[in-house]
Structure 1
Amino acid sequence: MILALHNRYRTLGGEERAVEDLTWLAREHLGEEVELLVRDSSLLGRRAAATGLLRGGLDPDEVTAAIRRTRADIVHAHNLLPSFGWRALAAARAAGAKTVLHLHNYRLVCAVATCVDPAGEDCTRCHGRNTTPGLRLGCRGSAVEGVAYAAALSVWQRRTLDLADVVVVPSAAAKERLLALGVPVGDALVVPHVVRTAATTTAYAADGPALVVARLAPEKGVDVAIAACREARVGLVIAGDGPEAADLRRVAAAAGLTVLEGNGGPAPWDGQVRFAGRVPDELLSRLRAAASVELIPSRAHETFGLAAIEALAFGLPIVASGVGALAALPEPVRLVPPGDAGALALAVTGARGDARAAAAGPQLARSLAGPEVVAPALAAAYAGVRGGRGQTS
């Protein structure tokens, strides 16, 4: 029996999808019973969040009770901050369960988890337990939050790792970056995110707009996509929401583009950008079918790049920043330097409606993240803890 823990973010994103899909994989492909214990940062007051960070977690007795009720022998911990913390792992061990710590991002060392500074640039200033650069730069925005994160990450990083029987990361690139950041994850196992299905036929519009599916945050480089599509004279649809939503609308308007709202109406054309907001899966499929190319213009050292794999699985040509795990994507994915709107514009022009790339995408997605690939990796992580293999640090 697996008890999965996840503290949802204030703005939901790809990690929530990854947790949901890995839970599905464990049930449907490994035959595991899985229960998900969720807490939600949007429902947690800032004072309580700060208390959870500094104390190393809130209410570990809830974890103990869930283990006893479900008889879970493994606790699979996804995002622990701010409310679960190392105390959830300690409670799991005390109750007789083994622990799998799944590091989807760089939260153990970076207060914003992305290694991107307030200017939107890749940043590795924080290193090991030295988190003062993030505090000095004001990465959390709020000074109170900044102090809480800087202190908590520094004090509790090693204890969190020491309480993990197995550490899991989503890619070799994520593991390499964590080690470079001074986080001792040398024995971490790679378990990719999973894409449940891949298309058998492709559906896209060769002359349709470009599409970006992303959380609207600085590290996602959506402003670069706006500039590139303006230069390439291609319409753009942006599906997602986040803290930069209003700023990105202003960026588009300042560039002389017409800003459209909502997910209805005709597809944008040259000079238009449509902000569709967060969309359900069914509508996202329709947006992809109406697009000619999907862009992943991230500035961040992505740990996996779920949007890219999902676009490949759909059968849509893609252009991505050659950074982090995205840099390992093979042809026919077109890679460009992060933050380079000119290079992205050229790649967009070449990739739109590329039939060869669209046809190759689903098989490539299956080879990278299909259930038949990810299930054995996840099974190995669970077998590792059940067999008593521990994480050395």
Structure 2
Amino acid sequence: MRVLVVHNRYRSEQPSGEDNVVDQEVALLRTGGHHVDRFERRSDDIADMSLARKALVPVRVPWNPAARAALAERLRRERPDVVHVHNTFPLLSPAVLDACHAEGVPVVATLHNYTQVCPSGTLYRDGATCTACVGKFPLPALRHGCYRGSTVATVPLVVNLLANRRRWWSTVSRFFCISDAQRRTLIANGMPADLLTVKYNFVEDTTLRRTGPGDHLLYLGRLTDEKGVRLLMAAWDRVARAGGLGVPLVIAGAGPLGDEVKEWARSRSDVRFAGLQDKASSRALISRSVAVVVPSQWLETFGLVVVEAMAAEVPAVVAGHSSLAELVDDGVTGLTHTPGDAASLAVALGQIVRASTSLGHAARARYDREFTPSVGLANLVTQYQRVIEESRRGAQTVR
């Protein structure tokens, strides 16, 4: 098959697992013998734009005619069998869908978040799940400045949602949800069920597997409130007051709370702040872990670090909701804690230290069943083939 992948890459200083997923899928498809091209823009490029071009970026979030024209030209020249859209914010816009429709190329899209029903894409505000904008004019998002805490910055996202929601739903042949929990949440909040199918992300296998009990507990991810970093700090304070667990906590990542986390860790002998890590260093940290800790407060659509840990025979402690509860079988491949509850998280951390070895073996077994590259390739190709065949049947009907 000929596949064209459409994606707006995130800023380098705010790395996203979404970029990693896109890169891994492209490499996987090419390894499987498929011809894959990319149509990409990079948010890093905004910094080098002139002031006039920078001023146009938010204006073109809902509709970028230049991106539409450029993609249309690529489609006419390369004639892919299918276009796979990931992220269009902020430099591509849903105008790319219009180009695909005009050129008669079927489209699939992976939903990495909740932007189809929520302007900020998180269904989260002020420490709790929020659906205030779902199904109605998203005035609350403007009032609360849900994107970067700014009403002005939120306006393009609100306009984008209002102007293009129906365009997405009428142009995309199949949306890939990356967990069943995400699919159920989107359906409950108004998305058409027949457009949504579950396709888990896959994770590359690793030769770095845990060989002993592990050296540390590990948080690896963005340092933001919705990821539960402050909750983890509060839980660890409880652990320390109770005498500790005999292993340190390592926190690796970057984000808005980076300085706060670094300051908290500085005076503690039982915490190490590792900062942002590259892929190889992240895999090494995981393989030496007693467990990874994912205490997210928002409704995670997938837990990439959880599955990376599975591959390394490392269990996880996760918040018992959303996709996290779907990925972790409580008491089998890891442990869940009550979302938002520091005391429950502290208890789970103590329990995982005593039971991590057997849970790690079970976690690896589930990885082998559901999250390997071979499983991922089969799922992806099957979905592409269905969409391509449906498109051809539709074209024949029209003729």
Q: TM-score, normalised by structure 1?
A: 0.88
CA distance in 2, matches of 1:57, 1:258: 49
CA 1:19–1:128: 2 relative to 1, 3 Å = farther
Is 1:372 paired with 2:374? yes
Matches within 5 A, 1:277-356: 277-328=275-326, 329-330=328-329, 331-352=332-353, 354-356=356-358
CA distance in 1, matches of 2:203, 2:321: 21
1:203-258: CA deviation from partner (whole Å, max 9, x where unpaired): 3544x2210111112211011122222322252211111122123335x2xxxx53
Corresponding residue to 1:276 among 271, 274, 283: 274
Is 1:211 paired with 2:242? no
Look up the match of 2:51: none
Return 5+ residue gaps in structure 1 as ranges. 260-269
Return 5+ residue gaps in structure 2 as ranges. 48-53, 393-399
Look up the match of 2:255: 242
Contact 1:240 1:279 in 2 (8 A): yes
CA 1:22–1:128: 2 relative to 1, 3 Å = farther
CA distance in 2, matches of 1:77, 1:39: 12
CA distance in 1, matches of 2:346, 2:185: 28
Q: Which region of structure 1 is more displaced relative to structure 2, 381-390 or 80-89?
A: 381-390
Look up the match of 2:130: 123
Residue 305 of structure 1: how far off its partner (Å): 1.0
Look up the match of 2:25: 22
Matches within 5 A, 1:72-111: 72-111=80-119
Q: TM-score, normalised by structure 2?
A: 0.87
CA 1:204–1:296: 2 relative to 1, 3 Å = farther
Look up the match of 1:179: 187
Residue 273 of structure 1: how far off its partner (Å): 2.6
Contact 2:143 2:151 in 1 (8 A): no
Contact 1:198 1:365 in 2 (8 A): no
Matches within 5 A, 1:133-172: 133-140=140-147, 141-172=149-180
CA-based RMSD of the aligned residues comes to 2.2
Look up the match of 2:70: 62
Contact 1:6 1:37 in 2 (8 A): yes
Q: Which region of structure 1 is more displaced relative to structure 2, 153-162 or 283-292?
A: 283-292
Look up the match of 1:36: 38
Among the aligned pairs, what percent are the same residue?
30
Paired residue secondary structure (1:195):
coil
Look up the match of 1:265: none
Paired residue secondary structure (1:352):
helix
Contact 2:235 2:346 in 1 (8 A): yes
Is 1:388 paired with 2:390? yes
CA distance in 1, matches of 2:261, 2:43: 24
Paired residue secondary structure (1:320):
strand
CA distance in 2, matches of 1:350, 1:344: 10
Residue 58 of structure 1: how far off its partner (Å): 4.5
Contact 1:204 1:316 in 2 (8 A): no
CA distance in 2, matches of 1:62, 1:223: 43
CA distance in 2, matches of 1:12, 1:88: 24
CA distance in 1, matches of 2:221, 2:66: 31
Look up the match of 1:263: none
CA distance in 2, matches of 1:43, 1:142: 22
1:317-353: CA deviation from partner (whole Å, max 9, x where unpaired): 2101111111112222201111111111111111126
Residue 271 of structure 1: how far off its partner (Å): 4.3
CA distance in 2, matches of 1:163, 1:44: 28
Paired residue secondary structure (1:300):
coil
Q: Which structure shows the higher helix fraction? A: 2
Paired residue secondary structure (1:292):
strand
Contact 1:210 1:291 in 2 (8 A): yes
1:129-171: CA deviation from partner (whole Å, max 9, x where unpaired): 5322211221111221111211221221111221112221111
CA distance in 1, matches of 2:314, 2:373: 20
Contact 2:227 2:296 in 1 (8 A): yes
Q: Which region of structure 1 is more displaced relative to structure 2, 276-285 or 179-188?
A: 179-188
CA distance in 2, matches of 1:44, 1:88: 19
Is 1:226 paired with 2:233? yes
The amino acid of 1:99's aligned partner reads V
CA distance in 2, matches of 1:218, 1:376: 36
Contact 1:92 1:99 in 2 (8 A): yes
CA 1:14–1:129: 2 relative to 1, 3 Å = farther
CA 1:226–1:96: 2 relative to 1, 3 Å = same
Look up the match of 2:202: 194
Residue 35 of structure 1: how far off its partner (Å): 1.2
Residue 67 of structure 1: how far off its partner (Å): 2.2
Contact 1:126 1:134 in 2 (8 A): yes
